[in-house]
């Protein structure tokens, strides 16, 4: 089990602050900032990332013709931590 996502979020923010020096104010701001596409495992408390996979979906109607095109998205969760390679618990 690792805490890399939370740790790397803090170190990424610090890296941005160090890089800007006195030329800019860098803050995380509200909770919608930071790494995106994260979910927390409610049982383990570990954060993990995912890719959103978007696709077109057309239901086949009873008369065998395709229905209207709908945009759908599924989340494909990382099986391993992208930072340290530890396998996540299911």
| Gap between the Cα atoms of 19 and 26, Å rounded | 10
- In whole angstroms, the minimum distance from the beta carbon of 34 to Zn ion comes to 16
- Which one, 7 or 52, has the nearer CB to Zn ion? 7
* Nearest CB to Zn ion, comparing residues 4 and 26: 4
On the 0-12 / 13-18 / 19+ scale of CB atoms within 10 A, 48 is buried
* Among 4, 6, 13, 26, interactor with Zn ion by CB under 5 A: 4
The reply on whether position 6 binds Zn ion by CB under 5 A is: no
Query: How many CA atoms lie within 13 Å of 16's alpha carbon, on the beta-carbon side?
Result: 11
Are 54 and 63 within 8 A, CB to CB? no
Residues 65-84 binding Zn ion (CB under 5 A) are 81, 83-84
Residues within the interface to Zn ion (CB under 5 A): 2, 4, 81, 83-84, 86
């Amino acid at each position: 089990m690792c805490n890399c996502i939370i740790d790397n979020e803090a170190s990424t923010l610090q890296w941005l602050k160090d890089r800007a020096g006195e030329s800019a104010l860098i803050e995380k701001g509200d909770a919608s900032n930071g790494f995106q596409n994260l979910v927390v495992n409610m049982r383990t408390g570990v954060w993990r990332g995912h890719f959103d996979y978007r696709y077109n979906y057309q239901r086949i109607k009873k008369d065998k013709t395709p229905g209207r095109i709908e945009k759908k998205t599924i989340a494909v969760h990382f099986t391993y931590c992208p930072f340290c390679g530890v396998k996540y618990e299911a």
